Structure 1
Amino acid sequence: VPVVIYGFQHYISMLGSIILVPLVMVPAMGGSADDTAAVVSTVLLVSGLTTLLHTLFGTRLPLVQGPSFVYLAPALAIINSPEFFGLNDNNFKHIMKHLQGAIIIGGVFQVLLGYTGLMSLFLRLINPIVVSPTVAAVGLSFFSYGFTKLGSCIEMGLLQLMMVIIFALYLRKIKLFGYRVFLIYAVPLGLGITWAVAFALTASGVYSYKGCDANIPASNNISAFCRKHVLRMKSCRVDTSHALRVSPWFRFPYPLQWGTPVFNWKMGLVMCLVSVIASVDSVGSYHASSLFVATRPPTAGIVSRGIGVEGISTVLAGLWGTGVGSATITENVHTIAVTKMGSRKAVGFGAIVLILLSLVGKVGAFIASIPDVMVAALLCFMWAILCALGLSNLRYGATGSSRNSIVVGLALFLSLSVPSYFQQYGLLPNTNSSVPTYFQPYNVASHGPVDTGFGGVNYVLNTVLSLNMVIAFLVAVILDNTVPGGRQERGLYVWSEAEEATREPSFLKDYELPFKIGRAFWWVKCMGL
């Protein structure tokens, strides 16, 4: 029973990290509410499968795998590629097939990075001073989406944001039945209360405007009155999505459900470079979680094997069509610290529950029916947490060091300023565009400053250099590895001795998953991976 409780507790506390990415991506691709429901179900299935894969054959730490925010920005950049402009109503599947191909290429590259031993060499360049601004930039890069979307129904958006803040901060020390319920379940509690309030207001007719239909775009409305209020209706009402009503009870997400992936070398190269950033993000999570549950850092071999399995997980995400690559959910470390739950058995149980839920079509449809404004409010909180978790890595280094402060400060500032230059270059003021304002920064491939004479090279460079996390990583890794500084000052990660790779940590014996085959593969660590 405790394992069941811990498993539910662990996954519910990370609900936002698992489900919110498709709620942003699918509408950006022109997908319907039914498409969103299908992608959410696919995400649940792939997250469950890859988590089991990682706990058995990866780092063997209680880390949940899922759609990573690291892949969201490059996915949006691909979605807004010039070749997809002016597509017909079938643009969702067309774009998804290109995304699948790019994700598979990036996953294969990550597999090679892990299993060839290149990751072990790469670890020499990675430390908390590099990881901190890189992860923080992932959260900061979506500032144009957060409050911009939230403001479309300001009262519901602010209520959602304030409820999560109150639960996570002001009520965090209050315990019920021995658990910090408000801190652990801040996201689902805040969502449930705000949704209930929005439902009551919708039912009472507060957001009803006579003669107006929320499903008719404002541009198609003849009435000036309806054009003024249709966006508010669509954002504030909870009954505009029909996904829950029309979705089937049973749906099996299967590989290649959107069609055969399309492999485009320039999109694939972008994803390969981003998979390096995803690996950097995961390294910090491996190190912090291992100190929590095993009281010692992981070996370089364990890290390499974990990255290799994450690459396999990303390939699976590409085959199934989740829209983004799979990686360790960064918030997982925070959840372990808060819940004090370091059981692989509980994480494995939760993964099985995710797989079963993915088969119930109504579950994905229910999640897909969350109003967009509430999604934006939750993402404001989630991205802020992601930024904070990134900066928390600085505790491993000398926080008072002027060297570290300058490196991190430059990395963060340039991660916002340089992409802004690329994103705004060549744009005319007040340009009429079909791309929403909060997605226009990811439209850079069509107007970026790089012009080499080769279209594919221009696409890759303009796209990659417009990604905040890429700039943060490049600045941090170059400065940290060239500016003199002591090992303690730089907070270099300490990896366990090589011979410890052949010894199973004692904590794993206490939390063994009910898959005995996993133990037979433990000795893979002896192979030098």
Structure 2
Amino acid sequence: MKYELRDTPGLVPIGLYGFQHYLSMLGSLILIPLVIVPAMGGTYEDTSTVVSTVLFVSGVTTLLHTSFGSRLPLIQGPSFVYLAPALAIINSPEFQGLNGNNFKHIMKELQGAIIIASAFQTILGYSGLMSVLLRLINPVVVAPTIAAVGLSFYSYGFPRVGTCLEIGAVQILLVIMFSLYLRKISVFGHRVFLIYAVPLGLAITWAAAFLLTEAGVYSYKDCDANIPASNIISDHCRKHVSRIKHCRVDTSHALRSSPWFRFPYPLQWGTPVFEWKMALVMCAVSIISSVDSVGSYHASSLLAASRPPTRGVVSRGIGLEGLCSVLAGLWGTGTGSTTITENVHTIAVTKMGSRRAVELGACALILLSLIGKVGGFIASIPEVMVAALLCFMWAMLAALGLSNLRYSEAGSSRNIIIVGLSLFLSLSVPSYLQQYGISPNTNSSVPSYLQPYIVATHGPFHSKYGGLNYFLNTVLSLNMVIAFLVAVILDNTVPGSQQERGVYVWSETEAARREPAITKDYELPFRVGRIFRWVKWVGL
């Protein structure tokens, strides 16, 4: 099916389409800070600040990417690819004994690692090395790599939902109902339930949880939600402490304590700390992030332009993504900045791929980031609802990754074996490293859902070089790294035709044969296109 770029006249309709893009990807934009900041020991106020920073950086980097990067209607934001290595760094042995000022110290370490890895990604793109790497990448490699990113967080998803099952499970069921059973229902010509399944499910569940809290369902006599669990003496309160903490919606004071106006600024957490072993982990992950973005470039370009992007477009996009991640590191978002994979799904559903709409939405996002209460409101989302949304987001990310197989011969036994081995080993090999050297009776202060990320302390690599041990134990415990290595090696050594591997669809030769169906500013040379584009913006 052919998708045309839709460009509705007038700033207001175009702006609404752009804001629709961001609203439909609300989960991808806000959920990562809600996971990593508490893991670093940050307060609700810290979470609010990081959320506002993420919104600001996402808006700025999106404007940069649509203007000087791939120039496709793709939104930049925090990537789930960086979440697992970020959690591994957060749970490094040197951070386990810190008290009091954990958050800022760990954040500065993350910033340093992200900045170095982003500089590496920038060189990878602008030097042309990405064009060389593209010869090894095709749909058979991209599919299991991206899918492994979503599948790798299963230990966090439903175990956190289970802390307040009546709220978390209901939210998952609502999102499933909206996105699948009600997906064809249109309101004023828009498939509201399909596009806004995540924010609608969140709003309804949050309202229901608020009513239950106000009705006193989670109120227990002489029990205070603000008292730490370790200080609770009463057996009655200790029995219900989990429900008080996870089911009530009034335990967070983020909205009340956040300022009305706050401007995110670089180095707001202090000067970044550069540690080479952590930087190397992030450099390895930046390659996976580039592979993720390559898949998004091809999928979105084939939808909006009916042709794949050229190698030059991909290299320029990856290079600018590296620069955008440098900005994310300087501002302190906790993760790198990359193309949000779910954006492709939004383009496919709405059949709207106008860069102008995405840019106006980015401007609206920047304005919202300056309102501190917005970040405080998002930071006050109960943790169980965050986990429920992540169950859906990670499942969709895995499915979006596997959907790249449609560009190859998905029924080929060669491809089936490669993808199957890549996915299975991406779960099994990290599981081996994570369980290595751990006694069944070992007690750990780290929550069970974070234990897969403390592999650096007990992995199988024990050479005399501590930094090398840290790098190998951590990198090889990341599911997407194993999936990428297995898929790249097998796909490039097992014989297969170009059509079978999907190279035929993704090649520049095929791109040259297709009739372009996109706006003129994409087709014109870079600088000339920019001149025409700004002339169009000012209405001349």
| Alpha-carbon distance in structure 1 between the residues aligned to 2:153 and 2:204 | 25
In the other structure, the counterpart of 2:279 is: 268
1:69: which partner in 2? 80
Alpha-carbon distance change, 521 to 149 in structure 1, aligned in 2, over 3 angstroms = farther
Which of 349, 355, 358 aligns to 2:366? It is 355
**What amino acid maps onto 1:23 in structure 2?**
L
Aligned to 1:164: 175
8 A contact 2:119–2:322 mirrored in 1: yes
The whole-number CA distance in structure 2 between the counterparts of 1:394 and 1:30 is 40
SS at match of 1:327: strand
Q: Distance in 2 between matches of 1:58 and 1:91?
A: 36
Partner of 1:40: 51
- Change over 3 Å in CA distance of 1:310–1:169 after alignment to 2: same
The answer to whether the 8 Å contact 2:277/2:470 transfers is yes
* TM-score using structure 1 length: 0.95
Gaps of 5+ in 1: 523-529
1:391 equivalenced with 2:402 (yes/no): yes
Query: Is structure 2 residue 217 aligned with structure 1 residue 218?
Result: no
Shift in Å at residue 259 of structure 1?
A: 0.3
> 1:111-163, CA deviations, whole angstroms, 9 ceiling, x for partnerless residues?
00000000000000000100000000000000000000000000000011011
Provide the rounded CA distance (Å) in 2 between the counterparts of 1:480 and 1:499.
21
SS in 2 for 1:144: coil
Q: TM-score, normalised by structure 2?
A: 0.93
Q: Which residue pairs with 1:90 in the alignment? A: 101
User: Aligned letter for 1:55?
Assistant: T
- The whole-number CA distance in structure 2 between the counterparts of 1:416 and 1:217 is 36
> Matched residues in 1 for 2:510 and 2:176: separation?
45
- Establish whether residue 323 from structure 1 lines up as the match of residue 334 from structure 2: yes
Name 1:465's counterpart in structure 2: 476
Is 1:6 aligned to 2:17, yes or no? yes
CA contact (8 A) 2:73 2:355 kept: yes
Task: Kindly provide the CA deviation profile for residues 431-476 of structure 1, in whole angstroms up to 9, marking residues without a partner as x.
Answer: 2212110000000001100112100000000000000000000000
Q: Is the 8 A contact 2:409 2:499 kept in 1?
A: yes
Q: Which residue of 2 aligns with 1:527?
A: none
How far apart are residue 319 of structure 1 and its match? Answer: 0.2
Match of 1:474 in 2: 485
SS in 2 for 1:415: helix
- Provide the secondary structure at the position in 2 that maps to 1:156: helix
Deviation at 1:353, TM superposition (A): 0.6
Instruction: Report if aligned partners of 1:450, 1:462 keep a CA contact under 8 Å in 2.
Output: yes
Which residue, out of 15, 36, 44, partners 2:26?
15
The residue correspondences of 1:417-436 to structure 2 (distance < 5 A) are 417-436=428-447
Identify the residue that residue 114 of structure 2 maps to in structure 1. Answer: 103
Q: Give the aligned partner of residue 204 of structure 2.
A: 193
Once the two structures are TM-superposed, the CA of residue 352 in structure 1 deviates from its matched residue by 0.4
Paired residues of 1:345 and 1:511 also in contact (CA < 8 A):
no
Contact 2:422/2:484, CA 8 A, preserved across alignment: yes
Helix, strand or coil at the partner of 1:342: coil
Structure 1 counterpart of 2:376: 365
C-alpha change, 1:250 and 1:153, in structure 2 (3 Å) is same
Equivalences for residues 111-510 of structure 1 within 5 A? 111-492=122-503, 494-495=505-506, 497=508, 507-509=518-520
User: What is the deviation of 1:224?
Assistant: 1.3
Match of 2:410, SS? coil
Instruction: Give the 3 Å change call, closer, same or farther, for CA 25–517 of structure 1 in structure 2.
Output: farther
The letter for the 1-side match of 2:497 is G
1:509 and 1:431, CA in 2 relative to 1: closer, same or farther beyond 3 A?
same
Could you say which residue in structure 2 is the equivalent of 1:81? 92
2:306–2:516 contact (8 Å) kept in structure 1 = no
Alpha-carbon offset, residue 247 of structure 1: 0.8
Which amino acid in the other structure matches residue 256 of structure 1?
A: L
Q: How many residues align?
A: 519
CA distance in 2, matches of 1:215, 1:336: 44
Could you say if the C-alpha distance between residues 72 and 391 of structure 1 is closer, same or farther in structure 2, counting changes exceeding 3 Å? same
Residue pair 1:396, 1:491 contacting (<8 A) in 2 also: yes
In structure 2, how many angstroms separate the alpha carbons of the residues matched to 1:405 and 1:424? 29
Alpha-carbon distance between aligned partners in 2 of 1:448 and 1:511, rounded to the nearest angstrom? 49
Contact 2:59–2:362, Cα closer than 8 Å, also in 1: yes
Give identity over the alignment, percent: 77
CA distance in 1, matches of 2:273, 2:438: 30
**Structure 2: stretches of 5+ with no match in the other structure:** 1-11, 534-540
For 1:525, the equivalent position in structure 2 comes to: none
The structural deviation recorded for 1:507 is 2.4
How far apart, CA to CA, are the structure 2 residues paired with 1:507 and 1:62?
11
- SS of the residue 1:143 aligns to: coil
33-42 or 423-432, which moves further after superposition?
423-432
Equivalents in 2 of 1:375, 1:499: separation in Å?
43
* 3-state SS in 2 of match to 1:298: coil
SS of equivalent to 2:334: coil
Deviation at 1:518, TM superposition (A): 6.8
Could you report, residue by residue, the CA deviation over 1:6-55 in whole angstroms, capped at 9, with x for unpaired residues?
A: 11211100000111000000000000000000000000000000000000
